[in-house]
A and B are shown apart, each in its own frame.
Chain A
Amino acid sequence: MTNPGTTGLIFNEPELWEKSREGRCGISMPRSDVPRADLDPALTDDAPELPQLSELDVVRHFTRLSQWNFGVDSGMYPLGSCTMKYNPKTNEVQAARKGFAAAHPLAGDEFSQGALKLMYELEQLLGEITGFPAVTLQPAAGAHGELTGMLIIHAWHAKQGKQRSKILIPDTAHGTNPASATLCGYKAVNIKSGPKGILDPQVVAEAMDEETAGIMITNPNTLGLFEENIQEVCDIVHAKGGLVYGDGANMNAVMGIIQPGKLGIDVLHLNLHKTFSTPHGGGGPGSGPVAVVEELIPFLPVPRIQKENGTYSFITDCPDTIGRMHTFYGHFGVMVRAYAYILTMGADGLKRASQLAVLNANYIKESLKTTLDLPYDRPCMHECVFTDKSVQEYHVSTMDMAKRLLDYGFHPPTVYFPLVVDAAFMVEPTETESKDDIDQFIGAVKAIVKEAASNPDKLHSAPNLPKVTRLDEVGAARKPCLKG
């Protein structure tokens, strides 16, 4: 079988304004059927200096740009901790329906029953998948969900009459966790994972005191390992009056296997763009719903959706709410896609997705552990973490291997994360990659490791096939040029 990576017909394309010619315009203007009404000239200025292009100029420009990009539809995207699974096309059809796409958020409950019903039902479905009684869809991304969850924990402690000052954060947690806690005024206390790469309850017990508001646990963690002692850890935190925040970004591994809400976790966020197949869009929009246990429901952000006699409505009358997190109700367009995905998969499909995601990851782990260094040789969940130890003697680094993978037609895995592993090379294949594609990926990594020994310069100079070679990131940060 041949490797997928090869060069095609790649066009050069200037910046938009370099193509601009005075007087061009790429949109048609609706005919005016009303008199012109000028504003006071003191309030207006010359039109903003946007480029002037024809419609075809714009179409070619962005078509060429798109050809310089890698997406899930282009090839395998084995990014650890980021779950880049296939994005079903029917989800796009659903979100584009006029009744959804053109819906105004303030049309009123009576004229928004379809949207309200969809959101209400999505809350129920996510509640069932996670094992919690209530969910808010308002947070606009995973990290926004973390902030929402931490605000809920903060508000709960305030209501108990005494605020606490610290949050425990394991070294295997997601990178945004400490920042989310810090935004709520908490001091983030780092907790070291044990030799098996998971939390040691004894370490948590020693760190947990009555000044500590709770713990933020990513489970499965960023080493791709299940926190086996999760229930014990929850008990320890609860016994000292703390709450447990679960980072559910890795829920893709455990759908239908565990329900975090039944294990002692109090608040959990999900990433709809990871677990529920909505596109990542080159950085967003995401959506980060938050699920909570019964006791925390009063603190959820407003508006909430209620169902009464078959009719749906927004309610804002919640005295203990943390407030509002989004201008309207969150990223509704993303919710439509996730809802379509869950309905298409059903309970068996979701469980099967998790099983196959875990199978794919373990298959890669076993197939590559004699080629690359595997610091935690344990059964993994949806992702596995290697290092560059086996190629260091050739002066080849994780970054060199990642860049060389591009020449083989694969997006590189996540590199240098999690920080708990030196020079990490973190692979998450997801369930939508076939054995054939995974075998090609394994073959490519093996070929690259051979090259590291025989011709390390080939890796140092990689990538050779994309439109640009290695970019000067240090120079970009030292002398920032942020606009043309």
Chain B
Amino acid sequence: MRYLPHTRQDIEQMLAVTGHADLNQLFETIPDSAKTKTGLNLPDALSEWDLNVEMEALASQNAACGSYTCLMGAGSYDHHIPAIVPYLISRSEFMTAYTPYQPEVSQGTLQGIYEFQTMITALLGMDIATASHYDGGTALAECALIALNKSKKANKIAVSSLIHPAHRQITKTYLNPSEFEMVEIPADKNGLTDVAALKAMDGIAGVAVQSPNFLGNIEDLGSFKAVADEKECLLIASFTEALAHGLLKSPGCFGADLVAGEGQSLGMTKSFGGPGLGLLAGTKKLMRTLPGRFVGKTTDSNGQRGYVLTLATREQHIRREKASSNICSNNGLNAMTAAVYMAAAGKKGIREIAQLNHDKAVYLKNVLVDAGFSSIYNGAFFNEFVLKAPAGFAAKRRELAKKHNLYAGVPLESYYPDMPDHYLFCATETVTRQAMDLLAKEVQ
């Protein structure tokens, strides 16, 4: 086995030092009754060559192989990833490092994550950002817990029904064993969260609204902030498409107290939904209530600039039972990926990419409406929108996938049963006009 360096001689010499007759005797403290009698029943070990054959066979059974057109988003987006992003991230000093508890030999990870925190606060208009979480959905659940734990009297969190369905489900799962309750704010006929319905709710510790929402529509976060202020509760802004903030006003502009979002668009592959990048940001006031890691700037004993993990007193390894969260790992390498992506795109690039996403999505919507799809909402969107499909589209969509490896839209009926034949389309900078025209022609 090529990962195991021990020669027979090594083993003999080492056993002589430990005083064991053979390798089996090393496990003398395990009672015989506890030991496996039969050994593991696993497939025979594969050579690297055979592994390649087997894995490519599996990979080729997925849609993503070959020339593939992805007009789906819904929380996982098809964006161009500049070559320098995977190139730099696969440097083993980043990839094979541990959590930077020993700062003197982790300055690369630490400065990179500090820069990530800085760029995320610029993108979202917030005071502080953590060093990342598992994904957008778990970040939202953590934000709900922050609001609920902070509130002295309220035990409900109001969550827009237009927040990503999976993010709502995760939040519900997290709250399930507690006294806390999640209530949903209905949508209005324009595909926006019904602010009037929120006004009628009481006992609320926080209000969570996604913009652009799951149907692609841009919400007026300002009106939710006003209601949140009246109710003296926190506004949690969420999102699934980080690049939208290259163009749209940031959640900070509207006075969001907390932001929970998915950062996969910032240089990460879709990878069948994970790992992505959970983003969690807040106002300075909430700094000591935010779960997860922070990197802070400091100096060394010679007065040189350096970085360390900080504010660890909130964490499990110091207070154990009293920790505000059980988080230990984050998605550090993906945070670093986002840092490289944001540094490469920069102020100019992120704006242009965002604009191009919007341009393509508007074009796609127009050609599909011309081809007989019905536009449902008239409001503004970023790169996703909902259309009602003409009869027979479900079969056509499957045919397009089989014939052209083209995946057109995510059906909404399983998420919103009152939306049969409605699809959520997404166009990013990777989609060509040719592919969009082909789709329009095929569905006509």
Give the residue of A20, A332, A343 whose beta carbon is less than 8 angstroms from that of B272: A332
- Assuming A140-B134, A226-B30, A323-B173, is B356 touching A29 (CB within 8 A)? yes
Q: Is B118 an interface residue (CB 8 A)?
A: yes
Q: Is A194 an interface residue (CB 8 A)?
A: no
Interface residues of A in 80-107 (CB under 8 A from B): 82, 84-88, 90, 92-107
Q: Is A161 an interface residue (CB 8 A)?
A: no
The number of chain A residues with a CB under 8 A from chain B is 198
Q: Is A283 an interface residue (CB 8 A)?
A: yes
Q: Is A238 an interface residue (CB 8 A)?
A: no
User: Judging by beta carbons under 8 Å apart, are B347 and A98 in contact?
Assistant: no
Interface residues of B in 327-381 (CB under 8 A from A): 327-334, 336, 340, 342-353, 355-356, 358-360, 362-363, 380
- Assuming A176-B316, A403-B104, is B1 touching A347 (CB within 8 A)? no
When distances are taken between beta carbons in the complex, the residues of chain B under 8 Å from A333 are 269, 271-272, 274-275
* Most B CB within 10 A of own CB, among A53, A188, A324: A324
List the count of A-B residue pairs having beta carbons below 8 Å apart.
678
- Assuming A105-B272, A358-B27, A476-B298, is B407 touching A353 (CB within 8 A)? no
**10 A/B residue pairs, CB under 8 Å, sorted by A:** A28-B82, A70-B93, A72-B96, A99-B62, A263-B34, A284-B334, A327-B166, A351-B39, A469-B302, A477-B312
Q: Find the A residue at minimum CB distance from B294.
A: A482
Give the residue of A28, A343, A472 whose beta carbon is less than 8 angstroms from that of B43: A343
User: Judging by beta carbons under 8 Å apart, are A16 and B115 in contact?
Assistant: yes
When distances are taken between beta carbons in the complex, the residues of chain B under 8 Å from A108 are 63, 401
When distances are taken between beta carbons in the complex, the residues of chain A under 8 Å from B183 are none
Interface string of B50-61 (1 = CB under 8 A from A): 011011111111
Q: Is A475 an interface residue (CB 8 A)?
A: yes
Interface residues of B in 1-53 (CB under 8 A from A): 1, 3-6, 10-11, 13-15, 17-20, 23-24, 26-31, 33-36, 39-46, 48, 51-52
Give the residue of A67, A114, A230, A351 whose beta carbon is less than 8 angstroms from that of B40: A351
How far is A434 from B436 in the complex, measured between Cα atoms in Å?
56
User: Judging by beta carbons under 8 Å apart, are B326 and A69 in contact?
Assistant: no
When distances are taken between beta carbons in the complex, the residues of chain B under 8 Å from A16 are 115, 118-119, 343
Give the residue of B13, B36, B60 whose beta carbon is less than 8 angstroms from that of A435: B13
When distances are taken between beta carbons in the complex, the residues of chain A under 8 Å from B430 are 30
Q: Is A331 an interface residue (CB 8 A)?
A: yes
How far is A326 from B362 in the complex, measured between Cα atoms in Å?
31
B73 to chain A, nearest CB (A): 9
User: Judging by beta carbons under 8 Å apart, are A69 and B109 in contact?
Assistant: yes
Give the residue of B112, B218, B299, B302 whose beta carbon is less than 8 angstroms from that of A62: B112
B281 to chain A, nearest CB (A): 10
How far is A459 from B4 in the complex, measured between Cα atoms in Å?
34
Q: What 9 A-B pairs have minimum CB-CB distances, sorted nearest first?
A: A328-B273, A99-B59, A281-B333, A283-B332, A346-B45, A105-B273, A323-B173, A114-B61, A69-B108
Q: Is B150 an interface residue (CB 8 A)?
A: no
User: Judging by beta carbons under 8 Å apart, are A231 and B33 in contact?
Assistant: yes
Interface stretch, picked from A142-150, A202-210, A290-298, is A142-150
User: Judging by beta carbons under 8 Å apart, are B18 and A329 in contact?
Assistant: no
Give the residue of B10, B11, B323, B343 whose beta carbon is less than 8 angstroms from that of A182: B323
When distances are taken between beta carbons in the complex, the residues of chain A under 8 Å from B438 are none
Q: Is B203 an interface residue (CB 8 A)?
A: no
User: Judging by beta carbons under 8 Å apart, are B170 and A98 in contact?
Assistant: no
Give the residue of B131, B246, B410 whose beta carbon is less than 8 angstroms from that of A48: B246
How far is A355 from B353 in the complex, measured between Cα atoms in Å?
52
Q: Find the B residue at minimum CB distance from A354.
A: B27
User: Judging by beta carbons under 8 Å apart, are B349 and A65 in contact?
Assistant: no
Interface residues of B in 104-137 (CB under 8 A from A): 104-109, 111-115, 117-119, 121-123, 125, 128-129, 131-132, 134-137
* Most B CB within 10 A of own CB, among A182, A228, A353, A482: A482
How far is A24 from B14 in the complex, measured between Cα atoms in Å?
58
When distances are taken between beta carbons in the complex, the residues of chain B under 8 Å from A39 are 247-248, 358, 380
When distances are taken between beta carbons in the complex, the residues of chain A under 8 Å from B13 are 435
- Assuming A328-B272, A468-B104, is B249 touching A44 (CB within 8 A)? yes
User: Judging by beta carbons under 8 Å apart, are A103 and B64 in contact?
Assistant: yes
How far is A230 from B108 in the complex, measured between Cα atoms in Å?
42
How far is A55 from B250 in the complex, measured between Cα atoms in Å?
26
Q: Is B80 an interface residue (CB 8 A)?
A: yes
Q: Is A63 an interface residue (CB 8 A)?
A: yes
Q: Is A180 an interface residue (CB 8 A)?
A: yes
| Sample of 12 further A-B pairs with CB below 8 A, known A49-B347, A92-B95, A98-B65 | A26-B82, A26-B84, A43-B218, A52-B348, A53-B343, A55-B344, A111-B63, A140-B138, A332-B273, A359-B15, A359-B23, A431-B4
How far is A277 from B350 in the complex, measured between Cα atoms in Å?
35
When distances are taken between beta carbons in the complex, the residues of chain A under 8 Å from B18 are 359, 362-363, 365-366
How far is A329 from B134 in the complex, measured between Cα atoms in Å?
12
Give the residue of B34, B272, B317, B347 whose beta carbon is less than 8 angstroms from that of A329: B272
Q: Find the A residue at minimum CB distance from B170.
A: A324
- Assuming A69-B109, A140-B138, A326-B170, is B17 touching A363 (CB within 8 A)? yes
When distances are taken between beta carbons in the complex, the residues of chain B under 8 Å from A482 are 114, 117, 128-129, 287, 294-297, 310
A306 to chain B, nearest CB (A): 17
Interface residues of B in 59-115 (CB under 8 A from A): 59-65, 68, 70, 72, 74-76, 78, 80, 82, 84, 86-88, 90-100, 102-109, 111-115
How far is A366 from B296 in the complex, measured between Cα atoms in Å?
40
User: Judging by beta carbons under 8 Å apart, are B105 and A69 in contact?
Assistant: yes
User: Judging by beta carbons under 8 Å apart, are A326 and B95 in contact?
Assistant: no
Give the residue of A25, A90, A155, A348 whose beta carbon is less than 8 angstroms from that of B51: A90
- Assuming A344-B48, A435-B10, is B346 touching A67 (CB within 8 A)? no
Interface residues on B, range: 35 or more
User: Judging by beta carbons under 8 Å apart, are A326 and B135 in contact?
Assistant: yes
User: Judging by beta carbons under 8 Å apart, are B380 and A43 in contact?
Assistant: yes
A108 to chain B, nearest CB (A): 8
Q: Is B422 an interface residue (CB 8 A)?
A: no
User: Judging by beta carbons under 8 Å apart, are A471 and B346 in contact?
Assistant: no
Q: Is A8 an interface residue (CB 8 A)?
A: no
Interface string of A106-149 (1 = CB under 8 A from B): 11101111110110000001001101000000001111101100
How far is A108 from B316 in the complex, measured between Cα atoms in Å?
39
User: Judging by beta carbons under 8 Å apart, are A63 and B91 in contact?
Assistant: yes
User: Judging by beta carbons under 8 Å apart, are B272 and A29 in contact?
Assistant: no
User: Judging by beta carbons under 8 Å apart, are B346 and A25 in contact?
Assistant: yes
Q: Is B276 an interface residue (CB 8 A)?
A: yes
B370 to chain A, nearest CB (A): 14
User: Judging by beta carbons under 8 Å apart, are A285 and B334 in contact?
Assistant: yes
User: Judging by beta carbons under 8 Å apart, are B56 and A97 in contact?
Assistant: yes
Q: Is B169 an interface residue (CB 8 A)?
A: yes
A246 to chain B, nearest CB (A): 13
Q: Is A307 an interface residue (CB 8 A)?
A: no
User: Judging by beta carbons under 8 Å apart, are B93 and A67 in contact?
Assistant: yes
Interface residues of B in 276-313 (CB under 8 A from A): 276, 287, 293-302, 304, 306-308, 310-313
Give the residue of B103, B106, B349 whose beta carbon is less than 8 angstroms from that of A25: B349
How far is A72 from B96 in the complex, measured between Cα atoms in Å?
5
When distances are taken between beta carbons in the complex, the residues of chain B under 8 Å from A353 are 1, 3-4
User: Judging by beta carbons under 8 Å apart, are A66 and B80 in contact?
Assistant: no
User: Judging by beta carbons under 8 Å apart, are B298 and A105 in contact?
Assistant: no
How far is A265 from B103 in the complex, measured between Cα atoms in Å?
38
When distances are taken between beta carbons in the complex, the residues of chain A under 8 Å from B48 are 90, 344
User: Judging by beta carbons under 8 Å apart, are A468 and B300 in contact?
Assistant: yes
Interface residues of A in 319-338 (CB under 8 A from B): 322-334, 336
Give the residue of A50, A52, A378, A402 whose beta carbon is less than 8 angstroms from that of B119: A50
How far is A432 from B1 in the complex, measured between Cα atoms in Å?
11
User: Judging by beta carbons under 8 Å apart, are B137 and A326 in contact?
Assistant: yes
User: Judging by beta carbons under 8 Å apart, are A43 and B344 in contact?
Assistant: no
Q: Find the B residue at minimum CB distance from A405.
A: B102
Q: Find the B residue at minimum CB distance from A350.
A: B40
User: Judging by beta carbons under 8 Å apart, are A107 and B271 in contact?
Assistant: no
Interface residues of B in 166-213 (CB under 8 A from A): 166-167, 169-170, 172-174, 176-179
How far is A259 from B41 in the complex, measured between Cα atoms in Å?
12
User: Judging by beta carbons under 8 Å apart, are B340 and A62 in contact?
Assistant: yes
